Amino acid sequence: MPDRYRRQSPLAHLGLVARASEDQSAEAGVVMAECPFCAQTGLRGDGSLARFGNAVKTVLGIAPPTEPNTVTGPEDFADGARILWLGPDEWLIVGGDVDAEPSGALRLALSDRHAAVVDVSDGRAVIALSGPNARDVLAKGCPLDLHPRAFGPGRCAQTVLAKAHVILHQIDASPSYEIYVHRSFADYLWSWLEDAAGEFGVRISNSRSDRNGLLGGRVTP
């Protein structure tokens, strides 16, 4: 993890904070925001062992989900960590503030078990996509069945979006999504999303980050 004063979000160069404060059309079909600097921790271990789940639960208050492609934890990650299923022995823990990332405590709790805990906070950018047309935008570049009966709130999936590997997490039924994409693809994916959402009207927002009490898109030294 880089020093706090050197930290820069993957989309800082787009000036999203400034764009969000501009006067924008209120009738947007899609609202886009970056969620900068959220703590992400990779977790590996044998999920079929009760003591593995219990050890994680002791530290985080929630157990890793055993059902594929689901998420445990609060809707808003400012309210505490949540855990995304990535594989039968692999999870992604998404915490609130990057400085409070839980890998140290978790590593200690799992030290006598066959498990791995890795801080991957700066590896992925998180883009929040919401609004009545959010699903239509995703459907343009994603082979996943996004219909509510197949993919609803509390579901996550690793898939491709506009050919970029992403983790997709549906937060609520409005619908609103969070898209985790590798840092080097963040600029490309943001541009693609904004272009794809153009026909519905796009509003750039800071609300996602404001609600989480996180920093804005840029850290001033």
Partner 1 sequence: MLLIPCPWCGLRDEVEFKYGGEAHNNRPLVPDVHDDTAWAAYLFMKKNPKGLHLERWVHAAGCRRWFNVARDTVSNRIDGSYKIGEKPPAIAAETEESA
Residues binding partner 1 (CB under 8 A): 68-69, 86-88, 90, 143-145, 157-160, 165
Phi (first) and psi of residue 166, to 5 degrees: -135, 160
Host H or E run for residue 138: helix 134-139
Q: Between 143 and 213, whose beta carbon lies closer to partner 1? A: 143
Q: Between 33 and 144, whose beta carbon lies closer to partner 1? A: 144
Quote the least distance from Cβ 160 to partner 1, whole Å.
Answer: 5
Quote the least distance from Cβ 151 to partner 1, whole Å.
Answer: 11
Q: Between 37 and 85, whose beta carbon lies closer to partner 1? A: 85
Q: Between 15 and 87, whose beta carbon lies closer to partner 1? A: 87
Cβ-based neighbours of 2, under 8 Å, separated by 6 or more: 122
Quote the least distance from Cβ 150 to partner 1, whole Å.
Answer: 9
d(C-alpha 68, C-alpha 88), whole Å: 7
Quote the least distance from Cβ 19 to partner 1, whole Å.
Answer: 31
d(C-alpha 203, C-alpha 125), whole Å: 19
Q: Between 86 and 106, whose beta carbon lies closer to partner 1? A: 86
Chain center to CA of 46: 24
Radius of gyration of the chain, Cα coordinates, nearest whole angstrom: 17
Quote the least distance from Cβ 72 to partner 1, whole Å.
Answer: 17
d(C-alpha 186, C-alpha 130), whole Å: 17
